[in-house]
Amino acid sequence: MTAGGDTQSGQPLGDDPPLVEIEGLSRRFDVSSAWLNRIVRRESRRILTAVDDVSFRMVRGETYALVGESGSGKSTIAKMIVGLLAPSDGVVRVAGTDPANASGEALAAFRRRVQMIFQDPYASLNPRWRVLDIVGEPMRVFALAKGRVEVERRVGALLEQVGLSAADAAKYPHEFSGGQRQRVGIARALASEPELIVCDEPTSALDVSVQAQVLNLMRDLQRELGLTYLFITHDLSVVRYMADTIGVLYLGRLVESAPRETLFTEPAHPYTRMLLDAAPRLDGFGREHAIDGGEVPDPIRPPSGCHYHPRCVYRVDGCDERYPPVRPIGARTVRCFEAERVLSGTRDV
Amino acid sequence: MSDPPLLEVEELIVEIPTRRGTLRPVDGVSFTIGRGEILGVVGESGAGKSITGAAIIGLLERPIRIGGGRVTLGGTRLDTLGEPELRRVRGARIGTIFQDPSTSLNPLKRVGDQLAETALAHLDISRGEARDRALRALVDVGIPAAAERLDAWPHEFSGGMRQRVVIALALIGEPELVIADEPTTALDVSVQAQILALLRRLCTERGVGVMLVTHDMGVIAETTDRVAVLYAGRVAEVGPTRRVLTEALHPYTRGLMGSTPDASPERDARERLAQIPGSMPGLTALPPGCAFHPRCPEAMTRCATDRPHPAVRGDTRVWCWLHPPDEPPAERRP
């Protein structure tokens, strides 16, 4: 899906097989009330389709960002990719392994290769464990280090690599600031020597100056270790800084997927255009936004046809009836009947 | 500015007495807000921006208290008012908008009733007139089918619509000043732009001054007329937004701008984000002199021992020894 060129880390994008292949991924949740309550209230079953037929690929060494607002399904996709949740339909494949259908050695290998960094630095570290044990656990579990001495040495090296000191291994999480805890989380993710790291809003809870430190660290590590990142966020400015390829999600559907510059300068989906226009800019003094006049609707009862149609300024007859298929246009793919018209419209910079 | 300012905050100090001494989350903060003007108060967590807002409205929880300075609203001193008078000022002259609509909206009362009651409490009008104003308030903030929505409960509104109701509630008493603390932080970005535009339009139309507290520099750039940058309970600089953001005088402001990623297509995505080493000190570990000096790339000897005095540079007021005052700090004020 990427149109040649380099990744953010400066590595050339080759013709290697993709590291991650997501095909037709869907996930539904039954959010009905309890059976008796439904009978008494004469309610029907309610199914929430959190993820609906999402497909994309990730090349080794790149950062693929999944962008979406509330109800977009991005966190659900993240959980399916790391194997914390099984898909309702479709397939996840990381280096050829499908976590929903793997077991034994293949599953263990998968768990070592795929790690996660979480949003809340205060909830993602066990407060009763020292950093040594938090970061050392993956090493012990995957037999990457044996014995106390070797684990201590490796943990110390990892802590230095993420900008902390080896002596921090003896401390507990509460002794660190939010940004430092996030560094511990990164060290833990690196402990299993992974290939893919799924980052779920890793800097959303951090102050701007700390966020800059953590993002730069992540970029440096990617370059040094050849890591691949799936970066999940709602923040377009962070996406601009970190991503090589971007997938835009709306109510569980991937509406557009494109290389970074293409997405930011020539978005083909009306929702992407609206999102880019709405994002506040540091040089946007007195800027007027294009009026959208709408909010993300209830994901349990999404609009018919193309979910975005009630808010869409490019809407035509049929948008409320048919679900747009995926179409390639240039270096991107997009789900919109009117994408050509969107592209030819003037873009306000 | 030719008109006298609507709100004047002078050397405000907020104190928290603890067993180990008195902490000062706000330590000598000064700024003004004019009628119809939006002042952004920006800073990272712990900078003291929310507490400053709480101090102005008189919502500090004991034992937190104002420890010095003055807060004046249209000629009335607020910091010396007792609780009953403060309550009157709060609804009638100052409206508030918080990040979480559920702290402003009573879940057990219909929206129309809450609006009407607030109007009745602060304006000399009849019940019927209050109901009319409630309806108009909902229309003004863009609630579709407002007449039917008057009898709806808060939970029946979506997040963005709820925040619009909160804005309506803040403005219905016809306040002179609105304090908005992170009003859009919990909302999706597409809704954020709408809410900020609404706030801006309503307040400039009605000549209401706004204090907009946020950590988001993009919001500051697009929504505010002037901005005060806070660091560790002190002001780094305050001035016209465009000037402060593009030609910052204080090294902290410059560092903050350089480390903020930007979605604008103009920005080169490969350019490395600047980093300010270290992090903002906690209240118990404030360094002597200028609070920023340990992290400052341009720190001088004096910065480690003396707190900077404010200096005026054009429309901007800055607290930094790189810009020493030419005269005693008391008189002029932008």
Residues A274-297 have pLDDT tens digits of 999 999 999 889 888 876 668 888
**Contact (CB<8Å) A212/B273:** yes
* Residue A214 pLDDT grade (very low, low, confident, very high; cuts 50, 70, 90): very high
Instruction: Compute the nearest-CA separation of A265 from chain B (Å).
Output: 6
Q: Which percentage of chain A shows pLDDT scores above 70?
A: 94
Compute the average pLDDT of residues B29-42. 96
Has residue B211 got a pLDDT over 50?
yes
Mean pLDDT value of segment A310-318: 91
Contact A284, B222 (CB under 8 A): yes
pLDDT of residue B64: 94
Residues in chain B with CB shorter than 8 Å from the CB of A69 are: 188-190
pLDDT averaged over chain A? 90
pLDDT of residue B187: 87
Summarised one tens digit per residue, pLDDT across range B46-59 is: 899 999 999 999 88
The answer, yes or no, to whether residue B270 has pLDDT greater than 80, is no
Within an 8 Å CB–CB cutoff, is residue B307 touching chain A? Answer: no
- Confidence category of residue B186, pLDDT binned at 50, 70, 90: confident
Q: Which of B158, B188, B269 comes nearest A260 by C-beta?
A: B269
pLDDT of residue A14: 54
Q: How confident is the model at residue A349 (pLDDT cuts 50, 70, 90)?
A: very low
Interface check for B158 against chain A (CB to CB < 8 A): the answer is yes
> Which chain B residue has its CA at the smallest distance from A238's CA?
B261
Interface of B with A in 65-124 (CB under 8 A): none
Assess whether pLDDT exceeds 90 at residue A255. Answer: yes
Q: Residue A1 above 50 pLDDT?
A: no
Mean pLDDT of chain B: 91
Q: What band does B97 get if pLDDT is binned at 50, 70 and 90?
A: very high
Nearest CB among A260, A280, A296 relative to B222 is that of A280
Of B132 and A32, the one with more pLDDT: B132
pLDDT tens column, A114-147: 999 998 888 999 999 999 999 999 999 999 998 9
pLDDT mean over A178-188: 94
CA B184 to CA B214: how far, in whole Å? 9
Chain A CB within 8 Å of residue B240 CB: no
> Coil, helix or strand for B56?
helix
Please write the tens of the pLDDT for every residue from A74-101.
Answer: 999 999 999 999 999 999 999 999 999 9
For the cut 50, the answer to whether the pLDDT of residue A43 exceeds it is yes
